[in-house]
Chain A
Amino acid sequence: MPIEYEILPFLDWLLPTVGERYGALLQFAASFAILATLGLLVWYLFAAIRLGPSEGFYAVAKVVFNAFSQDLPGFSLRRTFALARLAIQESVRKRVFVAFIVFVIVLLFANWFLDDNNPNPGRLYLGLVMTTSNYLLLVLTLFLSAFSLPTDIKNRTIYTIVTKPVRPSEIVLGRVIGFASVGTAMLALMCVTSYFFVLRGLNHTHEIAATEMAPTGEPGANSWKGRTSFDAHHRHEEVIIENGQGVTNLEMGHWHQVTVEGEGDQRRFVVGPHQGMLRARVPVYGKLGFLDRAGQPAAEGISVGDEWVYRSYIEGKTQSTAIWTFRGVVEPKFPNGLPMEINLGVFRTHKGNIEQTVLGELFIVNPNERAKFRRSEVIPFSSREFEPLEMFLKREINGVDARGKLVPVDLFRDLTDNGALEIHIRCAEPGQYFGMAQRDVFLKASDRTFMMNFLKGHISIWLQMLMVTSLGVMFSTFLTGPVAMLGTFASIVLGYFSNFVVKVFDGMFQGPDALKRFVRELFGIPEEAGVPGGGPLESFVRMLRQANQTSDLELGIAQRPAEYLDVGFMLVVRLFVQLLPDFKKFDNSAYVTYGIDVEPNLLAAQIVTALSFVLVTSLIGYFFLKTRELAA
């Protein structure tokens, strides 16, 4: 499963590392400090314009002081939950459960829209339910949270609340909790429905007619070879049974176990349920390093011209090697050996023998240079592209001694160094290449249950829902309903496309122009980064003129003003995007669809980020509501 960003251990992510990174805690604190300072400054400016400099200062200071001296100590969870209950009642009155009905209708008619012939229906179904849940829930909470407070203010029903001893913080937090509870209930329903939909949708079996199976091996060996029937848009062309037990080939992302029952005329070949589509593998990732063709350490492998640079390549039949260094490889975790999974890219520079896949070789190396056995025997393998290659490195393995002889060794005792070991992979054929990325090779700890992983995937949706709720409530404290809704929607879109926004911004400052060079240096924008085409105004002009992204605009005297407008606009958007969370990084559906357990480090980081975001937006909402004149 390709993941293009690094996932650090939680504490490494949270806390600063000297000389390497600031850590999330410091970044959040810095962002909060900058935001607070700027916020106070802007607030003071507005207050000063309205009331004069000293009155303005007094007004701001009073609110801030009261926030910490009265509102914070006087904060009541009881009142907050009461308001939350009101928010829930309001949502139920608005018939929010219609969204669930829409969800069910989408699932009922999903088969109409889905690709029957998809090479991996498991991923398709899982992707469908998670994406549908995600989008529906976000839209629901968007409308709920953005319109609630402005409607109350417009209808004057807010007075029934503010006239009671209720603090603005309780109003804001109460709504956030209330709408989040509604969203949670909806998500729970969707999660359960999705789970059974997926199970039911993927459920299928095959039959094996006796005529489709031919005996193999010696008579009486109960070994067979054949194929299954054509069901659910596919058949398994290879069924291999030995001693009464067998397995089909991998087709459409799954396989089946096959058993032989009975004998003679009563013999039946029974195909079990599908396996491999609904899994939660627990990967243990290592750190990837490379050796170049001369055997020297290299930062990365070779580029073969692929547009997507996720993988880099090693050359076959040279000293070019990909090395994964694993830690924590201990006997209790892997009692019998090392189950591992390899996902490689293959690049051929010549056809070779196309009836055979490109051969590779693998060996284990002890990181300790003074170890008695430095490495294991070479284990050949046939590469598989776009399909996981599962290998099991037995505990009893042959190692290479100082004289180069093969000697039986124990993997844990002789080839690891305090739980660390290296796995070296090479391509064995000249002129062919293997492509790999950090997460392409991993050790498999025991599988977790698919159900738990499915749930964890929905937790990420829940976190997104929480952030959207808090954003919506925040905007609704100072904007009208439709504007708050637009603002929240824009935040979601920017959150999803933050990478693209950064690329557009970076692309606007490419070129030899002195000013552009200055901005590049100021923001640390690399050369030739970003996408061409300019900002929204320039893009609009290009669309009208049907000009491509790289041609000169030739606007004459309007060129500069247009550029400056774009720069100004994009600067604001760029800074705003910096404050928003990257919603794409909250999307854990890939883990669920690819059958990889959601990493606890990732989930923890997401939870901390989301809660921090909710805290900050609630705080902003509190101050806006506090200073708002509701009677106006």
Chain B
Amino acid sequence: MNRNSSFTRKVIYATCIALLLYPLYYLGQPATRDSKGGRLAQIRAEQGIAQSQLGDIDPASETMRLATLGLRGVAVALLWEKANEFKMKKDWENLSNTVHQIIKLQPNFISVWEFQGHNLAYNVSVEFDDYRHRYEWVKRGTDFLVQGSQYNRDDPALLWYIGWIIGQKFGRADEHKQFRKMFPVDEDFHRSLKDNGDVAIDSPDARGPDGRPDNWLVARLWFDKGISAIRAGKSLRRKSPLVYYSTTYMQRINHAMMIEEEGTLDEKAQFAWQRAHEDWNRFGDMLVPSTWGHNIRLNDLTKLRAERDEIAERLEEFTAGARETIQAEKMARLTDEERTAMDVLPKDRTHPQELMVEGVRQKVFVSNREVAERADEKNRVRALELARRLTDLEQVYLVHTQRYRDQVNFDYWMLRCEIEQTKDAIEARKHLFDAERYLDDVNPDAARKSFELSWDRWAALIKKHPEMLNAETVANLSAPLRKYAEVMRQLDLKIPEDFPLLDVWELLRKSQGIPRSEIDPDSPANRSDAADPAAK
């Protein structure tokens, strides 16, 4: 090896390095204000995963990630281990700090934010005996998630979780009475949510009847922010759109229920239920992407039914009794065995007979298409179109819409919102609230009177809205009814014969398996037992 060949090699290497700079530049040039950058930067921008598009850029986070020299995974694994150890040993300061370090290394892992936010707000907070400390840690969990929303701008999952904690944790935890007293006056927390989360916490939309922020309404602002992000094209990831939207619009309902429980039983409660009704209607009008590949609007059920009836009528016009004819033909083709099975009462059928009957049902089923094919030639095309649309409505849209409505109990909440904003409902609840107060003051007489005033109002409501007589209403009235029964027992009184909520009472008794004798041996319901062998 001589100096010439060494020099030549160096020249070749330098040339190669210089040539490689071009593709490196083409691929790796960072984006700036004036240029889109190299190919990688452009792809990042197109996919929306550039660091600046994800959220705030934190130099500390970037520094820490660089400092791990590619061993970020190892560092993160160690930190998670430490976090678990600190949690086990109830070392909350170190846990908080370690979690802080973890998210510096994993700022764009949504599941990390969700997990640790939940950990702080739910798991750590309950370790404290003093409710004030629990409140502090629920706030910490919330602040943590709000910080996450800065790193991951407009991520619907994070926004949902923030709303969930503010709503559910402050509003339904064991300590919710105390939390709901602390939340409205916690100006520092409100300021933090406003400054870091950019929600209009001082707007009328967030204020409760006392003019201060209410946790349910503040939660609704966060959910709403999430919906705006979805509309702007952000992915929901694994969250269900139906659940996401329904949770959002349940917040006003939760708010209305909660303020009534706390004793606000006047026009403010009415107003709250009105707003809740508007929100629920708004939810019903939203287009919800379904798992079946089409969008569903929950409020469209009536419209779809009307359309179905109309199309069925028009099809009938084109086919004139074809359905019955086809069915008769199909019935005629049944075997004797099948006929016998059909004739047997359902409760007396054997299992093979059950299967046979199921088979017969499918055999004699007349599809819309079959009906349409019996139309005249000149109307057949049109009839077939109507049949296709009718089938879609019957088997797809109506079924799916009803299923989605059932999932979120849409009908019940709609009815509830309509009824609760009425004067009768407000009065009914007011009397119940008074009854509870009298019970706390150990005044059973006054409590009884208030209960009975309330039952009258409830009875009037049920008479106006018979559909109210359902399991949810029973569940709603279950506790006050049982308290009333207890009061009557204490006063050595019988439940009156003309008890206005007798139907509700019976439903409650049956649903909770309460024996008649436990309620009132002399109640009208009991006396009717003697004539009811089935009850025995």
Contacts and interface: CB of A to CB of B under 8 A. Distances in A.
A392 B60 CA distance: 46
Contacts of B136: 119
Nearest to B85: A308
Contacts of A152: none
Interface string A342-381: 0001101001001101100000000000000000000000
Contact of A386 (B133, B140, B175, B178): B133
Given A112-B63, A113-B64, A115-B96, A386 B90 contact: yes
B188 interface: yes
Grouping DSSP codes into helix (H, G, I), strand (E, B) and loop, the B interface class, with mixed when no group exceeds half, is helix
A308 B96 contact: no
A358 B129 contact: yes
Interface string B81-105: 0000000111011101100110010
Interface stretch (A120-128, A142-150, A239-247, A518-526): A120-128
Interface string A116-143: 0111100110010000000000000000
Contacts of A348: 129
A308 B129 CA distance: 18
Contacts of A357: 129-130
16 contacts: A113-B60, A115-B97, A117-B96, A118-B93, A118-B100, A119-B96, A123-B93, A124-B97, A235-B188, A308-B88, A308-B90, A348-B129, A351-B174, A354-B178, A358-B129, A384-B130
A118 B129 contact: no
A385 B128 contact: yes
Interface string B154-187: 0000000000000000000011001000000000
B533 interface: no
A310 interface: yes
Contact of A346 (B94, B96, B129): B129
A6 interface: no
Given A118-B97, A310-B89, A355 B178 contact: yes
A114 B60 CA distance: 10
Given A113-B101, A351-B174, A354-B178, A119 B130 contact: no
Nearest to A346: B129
Between B63, B104, B130, the greatest number of chain A beta carbons within 10 A of the residue's beta carbon is seen for: B130
B59 interface: yes
Interface string A71-95: 0000000000000000000000000
Interface residues of A, number: 30
A385 B59 CA distance: 37
Kindly name the residue among B100, B143, B178 whose own CB sees the greatest number of chain A CB atoms within 10 A: B100
B188 A112 contact: no
Contacts of A2: 89
A152 B97 CA distance: 44
A307 B175 CA distance: 25
Given A2-B89, A112-B60, A310-B89, A383 B96 contact: no
Contacts of B63: 109, 112
Given A124-B97, A308-B90, A354-B131, 14 more contacts: A112-B60, A113-B64, A114-B100, A115-B96, A117-B96, A118-B97, A119-B93, A119-B136, A123-B94, A235-B188, A308-B88, A354-B178, A355-B131, A385-B128
Contacts, number: 66
A569 interface: no
A548 to B, nearest CB: 16
A87 B408 CA distance: 77
Contacts of A351: 174
Contact of B88 (A118, A123, A307): A307
Interface string B54-79: 00000110011000000000000000
Contacts of B178: 354-355
Contacts of A354: 131, 174-175, 178
Contact of A385 (B101, B129, B140, B143): B129
Interface string B102-143: 001000000000000000000000011111010010001001
B93 A120 contact: yes
Q: Which of A109, A117, A123, A127 counts the most B-chain CB atoms under 10 A from its CB?
A: A117
A576 interface: no
A119 B59 CA distance: 24
Given A354-B175, A385-B130, A386-B128, A308 B89 contact: yes
Interface in A307-354: 307-308, 310, 345-346, 348, 351, 354
B249 to A, nearest CB: 31
Interface in A25-84: none
B178 to A, nearest CB: 7
B129 A383 contact: yes
Contact of B97 (A109, A114, A307, A383): A114
A506 B441 CA distance: 63
B223 to A, nearest CB: 24
Contact of A119 (B90, B92, B101): B92
Interface string A211-250: 0000000000000000000100001000000000000000
Nearest to A354: B131
A127 B94 contact: yes
A99 B101 CA distance: 23
Nearest to A115: B100
Contacts of B93: 118-120, 123-124
A307 B127 CA distance: 13
Contacts of B133: 385-386
Interface in A284-317: 307-308, 310
B377 to A, nearest CB: 65
A500 to B, nearest CB: 10
Interface in B386-418: none
Contacts of B88: 307-308
B149 to A, nearest CB: 16
B130 A118 contact: no
A113 B140 contact: no
Contacts of A115: 96-97, 100
Contacts of A117: 96, 140, 143
Contacts of B140: 117, 119
B137 to A, nearest CB: 8
Given A119-B92, A385-B129, A385-B130, A112 B59 contact: yes
A235 B89 CA distance: 28
A230 B188 contact: yes
A114 B129 CA distance: 27
Contacts of B175: 354
A116 to B, nearest CB: 9
